[in-house]
Chain A
């Protein structure tokens, strides 16, 4: 089983793929999904965390519900910026950003001007 196939079983990955399809009224092909998971797997190798672990690490449980850890969020944003430089450019970075966004981590990227 490849790294990408392993990731498909993670709860946060399933949530991301379902939310993406619902948001954009699309049904991603197996090939599109596989390509995204391969990018995410590469990022996970860089950051040393599996997807579920990464999302959990970014939130702090509180009585009112999970709250984002802003310092860790900034760390991850910087990591993505570096990752996209070395791993296929903006599209790769945005794949990771999309994964995080659809798991409730609000972030964006510097627009291309």
Chain B
């Protein structure tokens, strides 16, 4: 699928075909996409556990739910548990030197083994890791980059997907997750039971110019309508929700799956 179309078609899908499994090779594509994301220090800030819904006991499934993440967990056949690792920069002392060696970080930009050893490691990375809030913030951003690539890869493969909240303590217990890792999201994966446009692109709360600035804060980055028109033609910008038939679709899906209205 064309890149702009992938961005345009991404939705949080909440109705899946519960009976249709997802091919293993497609799940691997999602993980490969996450692995290739931009990442500070070339560290693994995010890890994942792929779980087939039906391999979990009913009791364990229930214990992972939160009040509003119920039906979609029952419907999606594959759950990818994404785990954040705030300790990931611990490899920075060696991983940054490796990036120097492979030509990613270069002397032209001030990089050397000595700079990593004497400056970056003791003055930047160690203080970051010593402060739990900063380490968590850095790790969350880095993890988000990777997870988003997995989301977009799912869309590219024609799969339905979404991130959903979970009971992290129960996830850690059930899946044997080490203490230093934080279960942050479950990425649900399956074949969508709803139209893949899911009723239209979600309306954003603020206009473009209210959140994107030029030169200084508060000075709007002027939105060129010609660009908007081109992106609309390319499928990145799509009609906004709700489509006129969306509520009928939701009602029909609810009735099909015996869910409340």
Contacts and interface: CB of A to CB of B under 8 A. Distances in A.
Q: Do A and B come from one complex?
A: yes
Interface of A: 20, 23-25, 68, 70, 73, 90, 94, 97-98, 101, 106-113
Given A94-B259, A111-B259, A106 B68 contact: yes
16 contacts: A23-B261, A24-B261, A94-B259, A98-B260, A101-B260, A106-B68, A107-B260, A108-B70, A109-B71, A111-B71, A111-B74, A111-B258, A111-B259, A112-B256, A113-B18, A113-B19
A56 to B, nearest CB: 18
B67 A111 contact: no
A108 B251 contact: no
B208 interface: no
A111 B18 contact: yes
Contacts of A90: 258
Given A106-B68, A113-B19, A25 B260 contact: no
Nearest to B68: A106
Interface of B is mostly: loop
Interface of B: 18-19, 67-68, 70-71, 74-75, 247, 251, 256-261
Contacts of A94: 258-261
A98 B259 CA distance: 9
Interface centre among B70, B74, B261 (most CB of A within 10 A): B261
Given A94-B259, A97-B260, A98-B260, A24 B71 contact: no
B76 to A, nearest CB: 10
A49 to B, nearest CB: 19
Nearest to A80: B260
A73 B68 CA distance: 13
A108 B19 contact: no
Given A23-B247, A24-B251, A98-B260, 15 more contacts: A25-B247, A73-B67, A94-B259, A94-B261, A107-B67, A107-B70, A107-B260, A109-B258, A109-B260, A111-B18, A111-B259, A112-B256, A112-B257, A113-B18, A113-B19
A108 B251 CA distance: 14
Interface centre among A68, A94, A101 (most CB of B within 10 A): A94
Given A24-B251, A25-B247, A68-B67, A110 B261 contact: no
B75 A111 contact: yes
Give me the 6 closest cross-chain CB pairs, A-B, nearest first: A97-B260, A106-B67, A112-B258, A111-B257, A108-B70, A94-B260
